[in-house]
Amino acid sequence: MTKNVSAHAVSLSRRKLLQASGIAAGGLLLATALPFSRRSYAEQYVNKGPEDAPLDTPTALGAFLRIGHDGQVTLISPKIEMGQGVQTGFAMMVAEELNVTLDQVRVQEAPPDEKLYGDKLLGFQATGGSSSTRSNWQPLREAAAAARLMLIQAAANQWGVSPEECRAENGKVIGPGNRELVYGALVDAAAKLPVPENVPLKKPEDYKVIGQPLRRLDTPGKVNGSAKFTIDLQLPGMKIATVNACPVVGGTLVSVDDSRARAVPGVRDVVKLDNAVAVIGDHMWAALKGLKALEIQWDMGPNAGIDSAQIERALHAAFDREGAIAAEAGDINKAIAGASSKIEAEYEMPFLAHATLEPMTCVAQVREDACELWVGTQVPVMAQQAAAKAAGLPPEKVIVNNQLIGGGFGRRLEADFIAQAAAIAKHVDYPIKLVWTREEDTAHDLYRPHYIDRFSAGLDANGMPVGWSHTIVGASVMARFAPAAVPPNGLDADAVEVSNKPIYKLPNLKVRYVPEAPKAILNSWWRGVGPLHGAYVMESFIDELAYAAKQDPVDYRMKLLGDHPRAQAVLKLAAEKANWSQKLPTGHGRGVAVQEVFGSYLATVVEMQVDAQNGIHITRLICVADCGEVTNPTSVHSQLEGGTMFGLSAALYNEITIKDGHVEQSNFHDYRQLRMSDAPPVETHIIPSHEVPGGIGEAGTAMIAPALVNALYAATGKRIRRLPVARAGYHVA
């Protein structure tokens, strides 16, 4: 138990303690008048009176865990499930320390509450940044272990024995003479006990659940159609809304003739917003036909003339500005001037859409006194605030029922569509389900920034780097998303991640960042975030240095990784698995990338053949990870496989372009994604480790682009410095 928690626990009143411990479910589920659904923890949470506040302090135990009289263990998950398997991982941590089986743990989504559920790595309540396991590994296990100790103590008290004579097993406490009490029978007594101050956690050799390849809890409903995503929810009286927003960022609605739309059978309402028009119907088809029948006049605003070429010119021009120093060591000018040889390169990454398969969707009901949302979101507090602002209500009057997410990838770290749903719902007296079309989703995303990176390096007579200069230009996501997190010089920690702390030994170094916000396009988080950019450019350039030095790319990296034995270990294993030293025929090649990303060490190797028609055949794709202690190896393998291919899809094909101020791509025919026929087999290997857990949800994604372009170089002698590789005429054969 942390100091804060135990210090707080002693000052709690008995009633507060009961609630803070969270052991007796009855103590938390308070029957107050609820405006709407009466069905979730979320609305009960919102409607708490001050006396009945379920939890008013950040006690991990009470915030995360409840056990009912029926013995049901409920984990209040501060992280949403969007396919990464995090809720099963959390349930495994709880099952481990509470000595119950995984099927005894049920998961509920946490309501918005920054104090309780704010992520300690991210600094706010969010599912992102591959932080979930890293942030919750300690507090979740401590909460469960504390609950176990309290249940044992309660049983010992009842039997008049010492707790040392008792043990917890499979949801029961077992005492002398093999007498037993189930947890459900102990919760009332346990809830009256103080939270223990010292909570020893199990040692890895005693794990029974953690480390096992267990099946996910959320998958059965996802193979038989019964799982409900936001888009599947149906409320009494609910109608379906779909929307057209002004094609150009910054544009506004001038007027709309909705007479033809209102004549479409099934259309119920047309709602005008400042920059969008929504059509509401009995079903999506009516809403879609109504939308098509609208005659809208937009004022396209100041960005109407912007195109990709202008944006790229502005990015290039930004190199002339000083920007902010992200890292500096030694004397870079002297080092490069005195080097035996000098190498320069410029890399470029495009804007990317998220293209989650479940498009942006939010169910909202707005009344005078409250607003209720049912929405899969990575940011419940931001969702609450955005809806409150749109609905004209205080945030505490907004109930957020978080839902399973049909693909997040960072897109649902934004609340734009949630605010829009609340704004639409405010105009009508029934709940609406706002469903974006794929076209709306593609063209009104917030996109991964377009980055341009320039490097120059000086090499000594042996070809090793003596000076390393790196300048990054691109939009600062943080400056838009959380301006307070950016210092006055504009140094965005995300934009320079990986680049500012190279894992390679680089004695003289200067890394500079020049923020340049493009016109006509908003930028946001995209799976892999900073490391996706940093790993691509660094692993591309180090590869160029290796070839310039006429050294093997694995050997070259290995020499520069002396300070990072875990990086050397993943690189060594990846090279072994790939038979790296075995020569390949002409037209074939292998490329490698190694980095520390999200607190994990990864090495990825791509082996390919490139045919005479520029067709790429990926013959092998190997990914080795050391991500510390693994909770569920199946989830880690899945994230490495899927995450790697997610990055591959973008590196091969994807680029969002702007013309006349609007996004040119609209759907999967012109924003194509990796399909079965071009999906290579991904071999994944996990290095066993008891180090603290690292992130894994985005790690594979960050590594694949450099391994891909490095393999292309090895196979063809052509260096691709601008993504996607399809720009250079390559395709998957």
Partner 1 sequence: MLTLNINGADHQVDVPDDMPLLWVLRDVLGMTGTKYGCGIAQCGACTVHLDGTAVRACVLPVSNIAQGQKIVTIEAVGKSDLGKKVQDAWLEHEVVQCGYCQSGQIMSAVALLTQHPDAGDAEIDAGMSGNVCRCCTYTRIRGAIKSVSQA
Which residue ranges make up the site for partner 1 (CB under 8 A)? 82-85, 215-216, 218-229, 231-232, 234, 240, 265-266, 282-285, 288, 355-359, 404-409, 435, 437-438, 634, 638, 641-646, 648-649, 667-669, 673-677, 679, 681-682
**Nearest distance from C-beta of residue 95 to partner 1, angstroms:** 18
CA 675 – CA 312 distance, rounded (Å): 30
Do residues 495 and 534 lie in contact, with contact meaning Cβ atoms separated by under 8 Å? no
Name the token pair of 271.
């709602």
**Nearest distance from C-beta of residue 667 to partner 1, angstroms:** 5
CA 525 – CA 357 distance, rounded (Å): 17
**Nearest distance from C-beta of residue 170 to partner 1, angstroms:** 24
CA 67 – CA 333 distance, rounded (Å): 63
List of E strands, 121-219: 167-169, 172-174, 180-182
User: Which C-beta is closer to partner 1: that of 86 or that of 253?
Assistant: 86
User: Which C-beta is closer to partner 1: that of 612 or that of 676?
Assistant: 676
CA 592 – CA 553 distance, rounded (Å): 7
220-227, Cβ contacts within 8 angstroms, sequence gap of 24 or more? 227/404
User: Which C-beta is closer to partner 1: that of 39 or that of 215?
Assistant: 215
User: Which C-beta is closer to partner 1: that of 314 or that of 679?
Assistant: 679
| Cα angle for residues 531, 326, 465 (degrees, 5° grid) | 80
CA 474 – CA 514 distance, rounded (Å): 7
CA 660 – CA 223 distance, rounded (Å): 43
Q: Sheet harboring 465-474: ordered strands across?
A: 324-329, 508-515, 465-474, 451-459, 341-349
**Nearest distance from C-beta of residue 364 to partner 1, angstroms:** 17
Do residues 413 and 125 lie in contact, with contact meaning Cβ atoms separated by under 8 Å? no
User: Which C-beta is closer to partner 1: that of 78 or that of 359?
Assistant: 359
Do residues 350 and 364 lie in contact, with contact meaning Cβ atoms separated by under 8 Å? no
**Nearest distance from C-beta of residue 222 to partner 1, angstroms:** 3
Report how far Cα 591 is from the mean position of its chain's Cα atoms: 27
**Nearest distance from C-beta of residue 11 to partner 1, angstroms:** 43
**Nearest distance from C-beta of residue 440 to partner 1, angstroms:** 11
Name the token pair of 362.
């939010």
**Nearest distance from C-beta of residue 409 to partner 1, angstroms:** 7
Question: Could you identify the residue written with the tokens 């979740």?
Answer: 140
**Nearest distance from C-beta of residue 219 to partner 1, angstroms:** 4
User: Which C-beta is closer to partner 1: that of 163 or that of 406?
Assistant: 406
CA 122 – CA 119 distance, rounded (Å): 5
The helix or strand, by DSSP H or E, that contains position 62, with its residue range, turns out to be: helix 60-64
**Nearest distance from C-beta of residue 615 to partner 1, angstroms:** 15
User: Which C-beta is closer to partner 1: that of 179 or that of 228?
Assistant: 228
CA 370 – CA 450 distance, rounded (Å): 40
Do residues 540 and 710 lie in contact, with contact meaning Cβ atoms separated by under 8 Å? yes
CA 314 – CA 318 distance, rounded (Å): 6
User: Which C-beta is closer to partner 1: that of 32 or that of 234?
Assistant: 234
User: Which C-beta is closer to partner 1: that of 234 or that of 333?
Assistant: 234
CA 291 – CA 690 distance, rounded (Å): 56
**Nearest distance from C-beta of residue 226 to partner 1, angstroms:** 7
CA 170 – CA 307 distance, rounded (Å): 62
**Nearest distance from C-beta of residue 401 to partner 1, angstroms:** 17
Q: How far is CA 339 from each of CA 332, 453, 509, 550, rounded to the nearest angstrom?
A: 10, 22, 13, 16
CA 182 – CA 173 distance, rounded (Å): 6
User: Which C-beta is closer to partner 1: that of 337 or that of 357?
Assistant: 357
User: Which C-beta is closer to partner 1: that of 550 or that of 669?
Assistant: 669
User: Which C-beta is closer to partner 1: that of 68 or that of 724?
Assistant: 724
DSSP string, 531-554: HHHHHHHHHHHHHHHHHHTT--HH
